[in-house]
Structures are given as C-alpha cells and as structure tokens.
Amino acid sequence: MDKEARMEWLVKRVAQEFKTGDVVNLGIGIPTKVANALPDGIKIILQSENGYLGVGPAPEAGREDSDTVNAGGQYATILPGGCSFDSATSFAIIRGGHVDATVLGALQVDEEGNLASWMIPGKIVPGMGGAMDLVVGARRVIIAMEHCAKNGGLKVLKKCTLPLTAAKQVNLIVTDMGVIEVTLNGLRLKEIAPGLTFEEVQACTEAILIKPDKVAV
Amino acid sequence: MDKEARMEWLVKRVAQEFKTGDVVNLGIGIPTKVANALPDGIKIILQSENGYLGVGPAPEAGREDSDTVNAGGQYATILPGGCSFDSATSFAIIRGGHVDATVLGALQVDEEGNLASWMIPGKIVPGMGGAMDLVVGARRVIIAMEHCAKNGGLKVLKKCTLPLTAAKQVNLIVTDMGVIEVTLNGLRLKEIAPGLTFEEVQACTEAILIKPDKVAV
Amino acid sequence: MTKVIGLEEAISKIKNGMTIMVGGFIGCGAPSQLLEEVCRQEVKELTLIANDTGILGDAMSQLIVQHCVSKLIATHIGTNKETGRQMSTGELEVKLVPQGTLVEQIRSAGAGLGGILTPTGIGTIVEEGKQKIVLNGAEYLLELPVRANVALLNAYKADKVGNLVYRRAARNFNPVMAMAADLVIAQVDNIVEIGEIDPDEVMTPSIFVDYIVQKQSQEVTDLG
Amino acid sequence: MTKVIGLEEAISKIKNGMTIMVGGFIGCGAPSQLLEEVCRQEVKELTLIANDTGILGDAMSQLIVQHCVSKLIATHIGTNKETGRQMSTGELEVKLVPQGTLVEQIRSAGAGLGGILTPTGIGTIVEEGKQKIVLNGAEYLLELPVRANVALLNAYKADKVGNLVYRRAARNFNPVMAMAADLVIAQVDNIVEIGEIDPDEVMTPSIFVDYIVQKQSQEVTDLG
C-alpha cells in the first residue's frame, strides 16, 4: 500500500471501533474523517464540544448556517434527534463519562498511555482547547495519527518528551502502520497494516512493542 | 394597635425595604405576604427557588396549572417577562449573589446576626430546604417574624440556642414590635412599632438593644 | 432505536437495595406513575435521593409510607409527617442537606467533578465530618459528588431517542439528576417523533436518558 | 424598564484596565459588533477571558491585533496567529486553561462556589501552582472561580427586560458568562416585547443582563 492507502486504512480501522449508539467526539484533522468511514449499519452519535450532539454532514453550498459550526469552526449540520447546549453542559457530558470514545491526533504517545498533543515549547502553543477534558473524561481514548512525524521523528515513545495533555489515559493508538493497544505491560501491536511486518513497525517505534500473538493484559 | 394591626404593620414595613427592580425571594408564611404590601410604584422581581423568576399572584379558580407552583407547593403564576429554570440555576442565582434580598421567618435570631430557623432537636426537623443557601447567598437577609414565640418565649437573643441556619448573615429583623438592625456593635432598634416604647420592646428581647437615636455603625 | 418501554418493565430494573434519585419538588415534576409502580412492585431497602418526600397521600409520599426506603437524602421533609415519624423511631435513616448543596453534589457526579466548595452550611451542623477549605479568608465546605443507580424523572415532552423538555416549575431537579445515574427512566406526558423537537428546545440531551415511559392520562393537567 | 441602549453608550462603560469576558467559539456566537466598538473606542490594557481569540480578520481577533488586550485567559489561540506572536514577544501575557476547566471556573464565580475539583490537568503543567486534593485515591485539581467586570455576549433573541435565547452552537460560553460579571451587555439579533418569550424558552434569565444592544443587520444570517 502507498501512504494514501495506508491513511485510508487507518481511518477505516478506527471506524471499526464503534457500535451503534456510541457517543463519540472526533478531534480535528484525521479523526474527523472517521465519521465518513463507518461500517454499514453502524450509527454513532457525534458530539461537538462547542455545544451540540448529532453532528451531521457538512451542509450543501448555500445552506450554511453561521450558528452551526463544528469545533474546528467549519460549517456543519445537526441531525434530527440532535440537540444544542452551552459549554458547561458540553463539558459535563465530556468529563462526566457520557462520551463513549474520543478520537484525537497526537504529537507523541508513550507506553504508559501518556499523551502529548497541545504544544511544542518555544515553537507552537495553540492551547489545549477541550483536549485535556476529552482525554480524561471519555471512556475510551483512541489516538489516530501518522506513525511518524513528517520529518521522520518517532512519535510512539518510551516516554513523552513534550508537555502532556493527560497522563495514562490513552487506550488505543491507530496509525498508518498498525493498531497498538496500551496495556499494563506496555504497548501491544494488536494489528499490523497490510503489507508491513512487525519488524518494520518496531523500527519506527521507540517503545518496545509486544507481538500481536501475545495475549493482552 | 392590636396584634393583627401590628402584624400588618410588620408586613408593610418589610415591603418598604425594596426598590424597583430588586430580585427578592420570600420565604413561606409571613414573608409571602410582603408581595401584596409593596408601596405604590415599586415593582420587584420575585424568585421562587423551585425554579422560576417573576412569581405572580395566585391564579384564579379554575386556572390552576399543576406545573406552576411556588416553593411552598401552592398554585402560582409567572408574570410576563418571567422565566423558568432548573434547580442548579436556581441556586446559582441564590448562592451567586444575584438575589438582592431574602425575607425569611425565624425561630431565633441573635445579636451577631446568627439565625436558627430549620429545626428543634427532638421535636420538629422539617429540614433546611433552600434556607441555608438563601441566607448565605442573598445580598440582604431580612427576618420577618413575631417578636416572641406563641408561648411567650424570647426569640431575639444574645446567642441562639437552636442549631443555626447560618452564622452572622442576618442584616435586618422586622417584628411586630419594631425594626432591628444587626450592627457590629450589636442590635440597634431602628424603629419602634406605633404605640410601643423602647422599654416595652427591650422587655421582650434577650439581647441588649441599642436605642434608635444612637448612630448605627 | 426507540427508548419507549412499558411501565412495569421499566421499574423492574430497580432492584432491592439500590440507590434511586427522584425528580420533583413537593410533588411538582415528580414521576408519580413510576413511583406508584415502585410501590406496586414492592421494591425495598432503597436509598432515596430527592428534594423532599412529597405531601402525605401523593405518589412520592407512598414510597415512605410503604417502607420502600431505608435511607433518605433530602432537603426538606416537613410536608410528609410519616417521614419524620419513621426518622424518630429509627425505621428510616435520614440525612438532610441544603438544597443548593444537594443539587451541586448531583451535578458534580454527572459532570465528572470531584466535588465543589460552597459557603452554605459554614457555622452550622452541616459542617460535621466535612473538609473545610479556606480561600482568601473565606471558609468553604468541600461537598462530594452524589450519584445513583437509577434516576426517575418526569418530563412534559420527549422524542423517541430520549431528548426531554420540561415545563415551568416541574423542571427543578430533573435535568440534573438525568446526568448522575447509571440508568435513567423518564415518565413523559407527550412522546413525539425524532426531529419534532428543535435542538434548541431540548433541556436534557437524549444520551442521558435510557428509557421513556408514556404517562397515562388519568389526571387532567390544566395548562390554563 | 427596557434595557435596550445604543452601541456606543454600552461600550463606553468599559474602562481601560478592566477584565472582560467575551462569549463565542472561534467566532460563532461572538458579539462581533460590541467587539468592533471596543476597538473603535480604543479601550486598552484589558484582561480578556474567552475561549479563543477568533480567526485572524474577525472582530474578536481585532481586539488582539489592535492591542486592546494586555492579558489573555483562553483555551485555544491557534486560529489567530497574531496572539501567538504577541505572546512570544511578551507583548501579551497568555494563560491557557482547559476548556472544561475554564467554563467551570466561570460558572463557579456566577454560582457563588469557592471552586471545583476537576481531574482535568492532573499529570500536566496545568497542575502548576494549584492545590491538589486526593479523594478515594483519585487526584483532583482545585480550580478557583473566574469573574469579570464586564461580560460581552451574543444572543439570537431577547425581550426588553433582558431574557436571552441563543441559537444552535452560538450558545457556547454565553450563558455561563452572563452569570459571572458585574456588568453584562448582550448584542441581540431580535428584540421582542416583554411576554413574547415563553418562560421555558429563556436560556439566560433577565436578571443577569444589564444592557441589550440591537445588532445591526449588516450580514445576512442564513437560517437554512
């Protein structure tokens, strides 16, 4: 598979993590694409932390509503059965354990499930927005990201070096190279992307990966 | 004045404490009567802690709405411009300092402004309901009560003997005998009900009263 | 994907010994038919969290009268004398909590907070056994989250996925309790199709609600 | 007893050095015309509390671009590069706060709480300088109330006494900020007579709102 095909595989693979009725918050970027890759028959309820449930597809041209935008600021829609609320309720939903899963990007993840995603000191400091609450509050935290940085730098580490978004909260890491489960014994490479070998994934990973055939703890 | 006239004086006197636009919460019993005794032209906004603003008069017979009752459980109405909300918002309003004054009854009040109003151990324990929050949160706490208990027992004390509703929160005590201000130096008898003397009020009061002509601190 | 189920089935999910939260304020906005069914199914040893125990004779009061409840957390019990009687004989364990504190404790549980600091109760017996925190010279009590196994609610309108709309003073504790229980059952006057409630009209988002029970119109609600 | 006043008069109440809260989420639900007037009146040395600083070019971003703000408390500044630039040069002091924490801090101030305990930020630099409280083995940060001199809000509809109704995702921080400032000014699309908003439709009670400013229809909001 080329890079594009592997990114597509990633998105589809994340989409398989849900069952109908799950309340899911998708981060900006790769995670957003998961909404369009759900298996047939699976219907999830998307939450947008700026204040509504039932995120629908982007509106048709000419049907944009400036009051209905997603957490990335893009025009969106609300599906029938959806509802809007203020930020206090939105984060009560998030922090209170009412979100079944969140899918977020990352700068670094490590073998303890620590996540760094919100700043590179002295370089870019966009802020954490709602990410810290999402990672602490969602029942499952799924990281969806490219396995390596654009410059080839490693992102799945023994220990994060950047400021954390949250400690020990990540459950699953899905990259263009495979699916990694965070276990008490470390990172278990649960699935390998088509065409790759365990050794190839390990070579791009600082943390020591546990082989897929080992039983998870 | 007979007892009835003095109780009427009490209610009218409390009603003079407000200016138009004040947000006021009236307790059950004597305080409730204040709503009908406001001076001409004074319009206050009544809050009902079970969840709305703009309490209106009791509905006409046949116009009762089982969803619109006051905090005492009696049928009520909501005036135009009123609004309803949940208990969390209601007590955010109360505790957050958004209520200008509350008028409540009392079992005992003392010279430090301590209030006892919610239980007599071993005898009656109705519970504090919203009173503890009201007394802590309202900008002004006005006690409206008969000066003495039915059995003649004193209620304006040096120190409350019953379990407190709140410590040092009472600002003004209006009884059928007079108007007492809680000051840092103690209780100042600001006004005496028509026909009574300072000595008569003092005789029914355990706390030492400061005479009306002394300047308040 | 409708959440509408029958009354009997809904209440059968409540087991002896569970903690239940019940919306309502002296009967107004209380889920009367759900409560009647709790009594009918003779669920026992419940811990009840509610503003009050109703007025003697109403559905809420019957929970106490019929000894379904062994422990009560409430703000006011003066309108149901049987509650006071059972408390004084030791049949019922009663914990009284300031109303603004109880609602914040429930909200804390629903919102994933570890608790809140409130000035309410300082200098009173409400302080007992609680951590006191001083900030800028002001004292606050640390009040901890309160949650339940089941919440029983009353709403005016729902769609079939469980978005709820309340009416007037019947809202009270209902929306907050909807957030703080493992299982949430709402008794509803009017059930409408999905999409018939405007997103801005919803007061309790569907995801908090597990089951909806159609209220039987035995009594006429005058909307005068 | 109308609270409707003119734009210029409303904003003239904001003085140099004040702390202001501004509703909105990346521009959606932000009181754009109030913000433009703040810039026009050249109010300076403001402390700004807001979710973000808008998108470079919009009204919110201009507060930063025109150096009205000397201190910022926000959750995300990535959509306005000028904010990051001023932060790195030291022109602007920036404090970044998790979104769920910021909204609870503002709510705490409005609700008279001394603060809340949140698990958010544990194990991160957000912990720095904060009291940590352990309850049943779980760690929480004690986050303190945040309030302002003035709150600038945006609403879809208001009656003349100041009851506010918001629309869709434009609600966001607006209702919470309405509770936590000494002076609350709302920019409103539609102003209606008293009694024209149903009590159950109100999202921000009138008593929180001091002034209402009619929004001028320069841009067409498509309600499609």
Q: pLDDT tens for residues C132-151?
A: 999 999 999 999 999 999 99
- Out of C28, C75, C167, whose CB is closest to B129? C75
Q: What's the pLDDT score for residue D224?
A: 42
* C-beta atoms of C104 and D113 within 8 A: yes
Nearest to B184 by CA among B163, B214, B150: B214
- Chain C interface, Cβ < 8 Å to D: 104, 108, 111-119, 133, 135, 138, 140, 142, 144, 165-168, 171, 199-201
* C-beta atoms of D222 and A63 within 8 A: yes
Sheet holding A52-56, edge to edge: A77-84, A52-56, A45-48, A23-26, A101-104, A140-145, A172-175, A178-183, A186-192, A209-210
For strand B23-26 and strand B45-48, is the pairing parallel, antiparallel, or unpaired?
parallel
Paired with D25 in beta bridges are: D28
> What is the residue-wise DSSP string for chain B?
--HHHHHHHHHHHHHTT--TT-EEEE-SSHHHHGGGGPPTT---EEEETTTEEEEEPPPPTT---TT-B-TTS-B-EEEEEEEE-BHHHHHHHHHTT--SEEEE--SEEETT--EE-S-BTTTB----TTHHHHHHHSSEEEEEE-SB-TTS-B-EESS--SPPSBSS---EEEESSEEEEEETTEEEEEEE-TT--HHHHHHT-SSPEEPTTSPP-
Residue of chain B with shortest Cα separation from D163 = B81
Residue of chain B with shortest Cα separation from C221 = B66
Q: Which two tokens stand for residue A180?
A: 């990694």
The answer to whether C174 and C155 have CB atoms below 8 angstroms apart is yes
Nearest to B209 by CA among A191, B201, C2, B61: B201
* Residues of D with Cβ-Cβ distance to A50 under 8 angstroms: 25-26, 28, 169, 172
The answer to whether D103 and D171 have CB atoms below 8 angstroms apart is no
Residue B6 phi/psi, 5-degree rounding, is: -70, -35
Q: Which two tokens stand for residue A184?
A: 């008490």
* C-beta atoms of A127 and D27 within 8 A: no
**pLDDT tens for each residue of C157-168:** 999 999 999 999
* C-beta atoms of D199 and B83 within 8 A: yes
Nearest to C119 by CA among B167, B106, D101: B167
Burial of D128 (C-beta count, 10 Å sphere; 0-12/13-18/19+): exposed
Q: What is the mean pLDDT of chain A?
A: 95
State yes or no: pLDDT of B216 exceeds 90.
no
Q: How far apart are CA B172 and CA B153, in angstroms?
A: 20
Residues of A annotated catalytic, as ranges: 49
Subunits next to C (3 or more Cβ pairs <8 Å) are A, B, D
Residue of chain C with shortest Cα separation from A139 = C112
The alpha carbon of residue C11 is apart from the nearest alpha carbon of chain B, in Å, by: 24
Average pLDDT over residues A96-104: 98
Average pLDDT over residues B4-33: 96
* Residues of A with Cβ-Cβ distance to C176 under 8 angstroms: none
**pLDDT tens for each residue of D79-134:** 999 999 999 999 999 999 999 999 999 999 999 999 999 999 999 999 999 999 99
Q: What's the pLDDT score for residue B213?
A: 81
Q: What's the pLDDT score for residue A215?
A: 52
For tokens 């706060």, the residue is D97
The answer to whether B80 and D195 have CB atoms below 8 angstroms apart is yes
Give the 3-state secondary structure percentages of chain A, helix then strand then coil, rounded to 5: 20, 30, 50
Q: What's the pLDDT score for residue B1?
A: 80
Q: Which two tokens stand for residue B122?
A: 């071993």
Q: How far apart are CA A105 and CA D142, in angstroms?
A: 28
C interface test, pick of B52, B53, B55, B66 with most C CB neighbours within 10 Å: B66
Task: Note whether ipTM > 0.90 here.
Answer: yes
State yes or no: pLDDT of D207 exceeds 80.
yes
Paired with D104 in beta bridges are: none
Q: What's the pLDDT score for residue A124?
A: 84
Compute CA distances C105 → A90, C144, C180, whole Å. Answer: 18, 6, 10
* Residues of A with Cβ-Cβ distance to C159 under 8 angstroms: 81
Query: Which band of pLDDT confidence, cut at 50, 70 and 90, is reported for residue B212?
Result: confident
Helix axes D99-111, A87-95, angle to 10 degrees: 120
> Torsion angle of alpha carbons C37, C38, C41, C42, nearest 10°?
-140
3-state SS, residue A76:
coil
The answer to whether B41 and B16 have CB atoms below 8 angstroms apart is no
State yes or no: pLDDT of A195 exceeds 60.
yes
> Torsion angle of alpha carbons D84, D88, D94, D100, nearest 10°?
50
Query: Which band of pLDDT confidence, cut at 50, 70 and 90, is reported for residue B89?
Result: very high
Query: Which band of pLDDT confidence, cut at 50, 70 and 90, is reported for residue B166?
Result: very high
Compute CA distances A214 → A111, A198, A203, whole Å. Answer: 16, 13, 19
Q: What's the pLDDT score for residue A214?
A: 64
The answer to whether A25 and A70 have CB atoms below 8 angstroms apart is no
* C-beta atoms of C170 and B67 within 8 A: yes
For strand C148-159 and strand C164-165, is the pairing parallel, antiparallel, or unpaired?
antiparallel
Helix axes D99-111, B87-95, angle to 10 degrees: 60
Percent of chain A exceeding pLDDT 70 equals: 98
Q: Which amino acid is at D3?
A: K
* Residues of D with Cβ-Cβ distance to A83 under 8 angstroms: none
* Residues of D with Cβ-Cβ distance to A124 under 8 angstroms: 78, 84
Q: How far apart are CA A201 and CA A208, in angstroms?
A: 10
State yes or no: pLDDT of A216 exceeds 80.
no
**pLDDT tens for each residue of A6-57:** 999 999 999 999 999 999 999 999 999 999 999 999 999 999 999 999 999 9
Percent of chain B exceeding pLDDT 70 equals: 98
Q: What is the mean pLDDT of chain D?
A: 96
Q: Which amino acid is at D54?
A: G
Average pLDDT over residues D156-166: 98
Residue of chain D with shortest Cα separation from A122 = D88
* Residues of D with Cβ-Cβ distance to B91 under 8 angstroms: 111
**pLDDT tens for each residue of A124-166:** 889 999 999 999 999 999 999 999 999 989 999 999 999 999 9
3-state SS, residue A156:
strand
Name residues 118-177 of chain C within 8 A of A (Cβ).
Answer: 159, 161, 163
Residue C197 phi/psi, 5-degree rounding, is: -105, 125
Q: Where are the alpha helices (DSSP H) in chain A?
A: 3-15, 87-95, 131-137, 198-203
* Residues of C with Cβ-Cβ distance to A52 under 8 angstroms: 199
* C-beta atoms of A50 and D84 within 8 A: no
For tokens 């935290």, the residue is A141
Name residues 25-84 of chain B within 8 A of C (Cβ).
Answer: 48-52, 59, 62-73, 76, 78, 84
Residue B134 phi/psi, 5-degree rounding, is: -60, -45
State yes or no: pLDDT of D221 exceeds 70.
no
C interface test, pick of B67, B85, B94 with most C CB neighbours within 10 Å: B67
The alpha carbon of residue D42 is apart from the nearest alpha carbon of chain A, in Å, by: 27
Residue of chain B with shortest Cα separation from C123 = B167
- Out of D115, D168, D199, whose CB is closest to C117? D115
State yes or no: pLDDT of C39 exceeds 80.
yes
* C-beta atoms of D1 and B20 within 8 A: yes
Q: What is the mean pLDDT of chain C?
A: 96
State yes or no: pLDDT of C112 exceeds 60.
yes
Q: Which two tokens stand for residue D33?
A: 């015309």
**Radius of gyration, alpha carbons of chain D:** 18
* Residues of A with Cβ-Cβ distance to C163 under 8 angstroms: 81, 83
- On whether any CB of chain B is under 8 Å from the CB of C56, the answer is no
Name residues 68-127 of chain C within 8 A of A (Cβ).
Answer: 107, 109-113
C interface test, pick of B25, B119, B132, B134 with most C CB neighbours within 10 Å: B132
3-state SS, residue D105:
helix
* C-beta atoms of D28 and A78 within 8 A: no
A interface test, pick of C207, C209, C211 with most A CB neighbours within 10 Å: C207
State yes or no: pLDDT of D1 exceeds 80.
no
Compute CA distances B117 → B97, C83, C185, whole Å. Answer: 21, 19, 36
Percent of chain A exceeding pLDDT 90 equals: 93
* Residues of D with Cβ-Cβ distance to B97 under 8 angstroms: 112
Q: End-to-end CA distance of chain C, in Å? A: 35
Interior/surface letters B152-171, b for 16+ CB within 10 angstroms, e for the rest: eeebbbeebebbbbbbebbb
Return the number of other C-beta atoms located less than 10 Å from residue C133's C-beta.
16
Q: Which residues touch A149 (CB under 8 Å, ≥6 apart)?
A: A107, A155
Residue C121 phi/psi, 5-degree rounding, is: 100, -10
